[in-house]
A and B are shown apart, each in its own frame.
Chain A
Amino acid sequence: MATKFINITLKIWRQKNKESKGALETYPLNNVSTDSSFLEMLDQLNEQLIQEQKAPVAFDHDCREGICGMCSLYINGRAHGPDTGTTTCQLHMRKFNDGETIYVEPWRSKAFPIVKDLVVDRSAFDRIQQAGGFVSINTSGKTMDANAIPIPKEKADSAFEAAACIGCGACVAACKNSSAMLFVGAKVSQYALLPQGRVEAKERVLNMVRQMDEEGFGNCTNTGACEVECPKGISIENIARMNREFLFAAAKSEK
């Protein structure tokens, strides 16, 4: 794992705010360590821009260990860049070549309006969650003992795999329809698979899907791009499960 230093050219989307028009700007950047993460490379660029008395690039990031879901870059035409199973913060510059030109854009979706430069507004996801992504119990702690209901390991593991979603929005960005069905499907599945969530499974799926539609996300046409780009490997089986849950709930509620 020898450290190398590379020179790159960046083409980055700059946009002052939601209202203004944006454009790709070109920035050469030299002496980038291949051990740096992609965001550390952007830190280096911003340091250079500040020294040149130019405006640094705004981008979302926080934990830098692939779990908070805040980073959200479209790199060389792919959500979170060329590596699979990774967030932008865990993408490293060793995946790029000396002399390479790298395109960096924000998530592109009507439901994710641009705030500034590479920063988008993903509050639509929060509103979907607020519509039904919970179990309606209070937080008194006076529930039954945690081991009162055994849950088959397989089911618990599948629920966990669905719950591993970090809400980054790569699925939406990667989808040609800007569909949020992987995100919603994962949440619906987590609860549908657990006895604690089954109780209100019907209302949940109806409410979450309604909110998803209101937010302006597109439909799923089974391309599977979301699954490929999902940094946490959430399976599109979760979309299928949501569709089953939805059909079942919709049919029942029409009676």
Chain B
Amino acid sequence: MSKLEAKIPEGPLADKWTLHKNHMKLVAPNNRPKIDVIVVGTGLAGASAAASLGEMGYNVKAFCFQDSPRRAHSIAAQGGINAAKNYQNDGDSIYRLFYDTIKGGDYRAREANVYRLAEVSGNIIDQCVAQGVPFAREYGGLLDNRSFGGTQVQRTFYAAGQTGQQLLLGAYSALSRQIGLGRVAMYHRHEMMDLVLIDGKARGIIARNLVTGELERHSAHAVVIASGGYGNVYFLSTNAMGSNVSAAWKIHKRGAYFANPCFVQIHPTCIPVHGVNQSKLTLMSESLRNSGRIWVPAKKEDAEAIREGRLKPTQIAEEDRDYFLERRYPAFGNLVPRDVASRAAKERCDAGFGIEANDTNEGVYLDFSSEIRNKGKQAAYASGDHNPSEETIIALGKKWIEEKYGNLFQMYQKITDENPYETPMKIYPAVHYTMGGVWVDYNLQSTIPGCFVTGEANFSDHGANRLGASALMQGLADGYFVLPYTLSNYLADDIRTGKISTDAPEFEAAERETRDKIEFFMAKEGTRSVDYFHKKLGLIMWNKVGMGRNESGLREAIQEIAALREEFYHDVRVPGEANELNPELEKALRVADFLELGQLMAVDALNRKESCGGHFREEYQDSEGETLRDDERFKMVAAWEYTGADSSKAILHEEKLDYEFIKIAARNYK
């Protein structure tokens, strides 16, 4: 009954992808214009796929809900993109990037997928530079690198704190070129409402024109979902306001399995929550941990004095500070992986050492004063001043920091009204990325034939925890270098199919279902706004399916979400009309899906009776508070089959993970 065939090619690890490419079917150039492909989402994974497929000669239709494809949330990625170029000659290799990624994911990702990712990583950098992406460079004119968490080499390429922006604008330029050439038709301010299946194959979508409210039918021979992650199920996250799970959830409802939904990345360095009207959380790039040291006061009374405003962090003497990451993980220090850093911060705050003066006291310091001093001294020496004054050192050090992280420091100051050059940043973990997603095989195809899923929307490469600077790598690898091959292999059987008619009864039925749902919301005379329900859902998720999870909390969450869902359908109020730009209606349709997904996340977390990566079950930890995996039972992917809105009835399918090439071990960053 299980359809979970990972389809991992035979052969030695390093040759799998090459051998597979050599044997896949092709579609000849003269046949490609007869084939239509739909791409939903225009972030790194979607824009790169649409551009590549258009360039090959397929008829591509691309969809995004924003007013321009350039605004997809990949744009907000800050720190960088990994690639095994070994330009720094510090021992990097494809194998090492592969190994770090598998280990970073706490041994819950597929070896073959991750190896392929590492293998094509170098091409991404070559491609982007050729496209005119202005990466940071050294004075010699060559590309600069920095370090990210969970690695001991410098393999991260970057463009100040705006790497995602520059990479996305690169992919957007390639996409724009295809749009200009007429090979890609762009549908902006359009949202996918449903997937249409004919004879069991993905053959099109129902889309809503967000300006006119019109429902449109679009047919294709294959559909690519590149719609990003589902972090907004928590309401407060670092995701954009519009980021949502709906495209992925709609295909899940049509038969695609959803894998490892409980694997969520809580990023350690975000600006703490400030108030009830807060709409989102802002990330401070992991790259800052290259230069910043994380600490809380070593004495509880100092932490209390800081919270009450009686003491300033700069007044705490060096010996009274607890650099807890350096203390607990000397080998990696401040650059431990994100899940480890987040839990360590939570542990200190739960123990009463938090420094933020909000309801929960949740906050720790990220301090740049040591780095300012070090870099200032170096800069003074480099300029020939071997006896620099204190002021010179500090001034030069701040200048160095500004060049590396200027936009992040400015962003921090705008939001908090505090100057991070003078006083340490206050940070706390926040929901950032979702490793879970639609289950796909090695070819990135879901359990629905013809429906492919790329980038953050799929589950495939990051296991239970994603390493920093790897999301950008995956998005572009999938879109530029994987999908063009695997999708062609699938489409090769469709060269005689001809155009798919949108008059088919399946289109008719899917459109009617969507219309009924919209009419339901418009007719509902409830009393509460959509946000009211979304915020309530977010709180349940954060408190019970967040950084620490336990059996009773998860059971409560499953019940509470079911009750909230009922209340939502009973009491929601959507103002305005269906046939106009109506942001409240858009939100209602998305929150309806979050209310099903959230429950499935709790179900998945309850099922996985172990701790691994970002999934921390309080019952399963060692004496030092580190995660305790159960490889015997849970070295597997949990893929859920949809059976109805009540996700507690979803059916579990398991894909066993085999580690042929890596010796599986307890993760150790000490």
Contacts and interface: CB of A to CB of B under 8 A. Distances in A.
A150 B627 CA distance: 45
Interface in B127-150: 127-143
Contact of A90 (B279, B415, B480): B415
Contact of B165 (A35, A67, A90, A150): A67
A146 B411 CA distance: 31
B132 A191 contact: yes
Interface residues of A, number: 84
Interface in A46-93: 46-47, 49-51, 53-56, 58, 60-70, 83, 85-86, 90, 92
A156 interface: yes
Contact of B73 (A53, A58, A63): A63
Interface in A167-225: 167, 190-191, 194, 196-197
A139 B48 contact: yes
A65 B211 CA distance: 25
B200 interface: no
Interface residues of B, number: 84
Which of A86, A167, A191 has the most chain B CB atoms inside 10 A of its CB?
A167
B137 A156 contact: yes
Interface stretch (B64-72, B456-464, B652-660): B64-72
Nearest to A70: B71
Contacts of A132: 180
Which of B141, B166, B274 has the most chain A CB atoms inside 10 A of its CB?
B141
B318 interface: no
Given A90-B415, A139-B480, A159-B134, A134 B67 contact: no
B529 A50 contact: yes
B131 A62 contact: no
Given A44-B277, A115-B581, A129 B172 contact: yes
Contacts of B277: 33, 36, 40-41, 43-44
B481 interface: yes
A136 interface: yes
A61 B75 contact: no
Contact of A135 (B69, B132, B141, B531): B132
A30 interface: no
B138 A122 contact: no
B417 interface: yes
26 contacts: A3-B274, A37-B279, A37-B415, A50-B575, A62-B73, A64-B280, A65-B283, A67-B76, A68-B66, A68-B240, A69-B71, A70-B71, A85-B410, A123-B68, A139-B127, A139-B174, A143-B129, A143-B130, A152-B137, A156-B137, A163-B159, A164-B162, A164-B165, A166-B165, A167-B71, A191-B132
Interface of A: 1, 3, 16-17, 33, 35-37, 39-41, 43-44, 46-47, 49-51, 53-56, 58, 60-70, 83, 85-86, 90, 92, 94, 115-116, 119, 121-123, 125-126, 129-147, 150-153, 156-157, 159-160, 163-164, 166-167, 190-191, 194, 196-197
